[in-house]
Structure 1
Amino acid sequence: MLFFSVLALVTLTVAVPHSKRATTFFNPNDGGGRMLTDATGGFGAADDLGEPLNVIISGTSSAAVLTDDGFLNYAQSLGFSFECLGLHLGGPQSANLGDGNGWVNQTVEYRQDYGNEEIGTCLESLIGGNHLRMFRQNGSSEDTGALFLAVSQEEDVADGHDIVANGYDIGRNALVASAIAVGGTNANGVSYSTTALNITGLLAAGAAGVNHDIATDGVTTLLTVTIL
């Protein structure tokens, strides 16, 4: 049974209700999936390594947040944006969210934008920083609409964008801290309020199966995002 602990709560401003789904997320482990991406091409084989899916955007969030455009805008409110000049560095990773889709490539990858949504990610590509990969749970068996994120802090280009020591936990914590900032977040005229809940039991703590042999604390943070 999963153990839930409250990380933080942000007071919600009363607003006109937005359409929401009924389910927060479905545990991929219960549907033959897993909470690690496929980073080495093994598609879940015993020796396959992956990145932890350490943040989930709940399917009960405001519906617009769960769309591609809506998630980009929300990510920009947290200091992430599209990759430098639209160019992707490195190969995409895939994930099996146990929803009936099997192994599916990441939907998008966003990088820390250092305060500039248009070109700031070029700086991240050079000096390193936080970045995320997003996967959507929308298969025929479990269409929750939840967004699963693999978040990590990475080195600069000279170090091949390897993950820094403890980089998975560091990346997750930095994103969550931005999301639950007092007063909420906003981008392009849209304001958000986010609550966070830490969940253990989805990911195993430690480095088993984790890319770069970097141990994690086994925590996944569930974010529920409301457009104000």
Structure 2
Amino acid sequence: MYSTPLAVLGLIYASVVTGMTLQRRAVDFFDPAHGGGTMFDNATFGGEPLNVIISGLSSPDVLTDDGVLKYAKANGFSQECFGFHLGAPQTANLGDGHNSKNQTVEIFRQDGPSANSGALFLAASKEKDASKNHDLIDDGYNIGRNELVAAAVGTKSHDGVTYNTVARNITGMMPAGSNGVNHGIAVDGVVTLLTVSIQ
């Protein structure tokens, strides 16, 4: 397990996708705002930023539930620590025609009828430990994103699969500041796009 506590340690649940023909998508993602969505999920005290996107142009096997779990393990992350989860499940509107949809732990998949990119939207943050109820640290959204990206970029392997990840920062999709942000913690407005290729 990665030593830094991140909300994204809870990235994924393991479920196996079988019997599907996987095809590479045509776009990285669709901007949720174009379909009435937003780059913030719906949390208890405001929205949490969807500050990392795994591109729909990534290798198709990465974008399945089982595949992204394996990818997370290659980067030093795992399922939520020992199965514990604090906090209520959240929803997000990715502008894909599904309106608000439930999270799969910390992942939201853009796969609706009007914007089916297959991209995965993540709410990354850095938290305090369980004894402090996993409250966010100061600047926890930006730091969580940056640490997740730093762990992912480059070439990593897990269980016989090798991944290469390239990151690109995007501005203009998310407003900077703390207005409407969960816990009143300011964000810098940067979303990082990860494109993951299986070697």
Give TM-score, length-normalised by structure 2: 0.86
Aligned: 1:203 with 2:199: no
Question: Which residue of structure 1 lines up, in the alignment, with residue 11 of structure 2?
Answer: none
Q: Which has the higher strand share?
A: 1
Aligned: 1:70 with 2:67: yes
Cα-to-partner distance string for 1:138-194 (whole Å, 9 max, x where unaligned): 01111110000000000112222111000000000001111114xx11111111001
Cα-to-partner distance string for 1:81-131 (whole Å, 9 max, x where unaligned): 1123434322111110000011111113xxxxxxxxxxxxxxxxxxxxxxx
Choose the corresponding residue for 1:135, options 101, 104, 108: 108
Question: Which residue of structure 2 lines up, in the alignment, with residue 21 of structure 1?
Answer: 25
Aligned: 1:212 with 2:183: yes
**Where in structure 1 do 4 or more consecutive aligned residues deviate above 4 Å?**
none
Choose the corresponding residue for 2:136, options 153, 156, 163: 163
Amino acid at match of 1:100: G
- Structure 2 residue runs of 5 or longer lacking an equivalent are 1-21
CA distance in 1, matches of 2:128, 2:23: 39
CA distance in 2, matches of 1:87, 1:69: 20
Q: Secondary structure at the match of 1:74?
A: helix
CA distance in 2, matches of 1:197, 1:61: 13
Question: Which residue of structure 1 lines up, in the alignment, with residue 164 of structure 2?
Answer: 193
Aligned: 1:150 with 2:117: no
> Computing the radius of gyration over CA atoms, which structure comes out larger, 1 or 2?
1
CA-based RMSD: 1.3
Shift of 1:211: 0.4
- Does the 8 Å contact 2:86/2:133 carry over to 1? no
Question: Which residue of structure 1 lines up, in the alignment, with residue 196 of structure 2?
Answer: 225
Give TM-score, length-normalised by structure 1: 0.75
Q: Secondary structure at the match of 1:81?
A: coil
CA distance in 1, matches of 2:82, 2:29: 33
Shift of 1:25: 0.2
CA distance in 1, matches of 2:28, 2:89: 26
Amino acid at match of 1:28: P
CA distance in 1, matches of 2:101, 2:77: 23
CA distance in 2, matches of 1:88, 1:157: 10
Choose the corresponding residue for 1:84, options 78, 81, 84: 81
Q: How many residues align?
A: 178
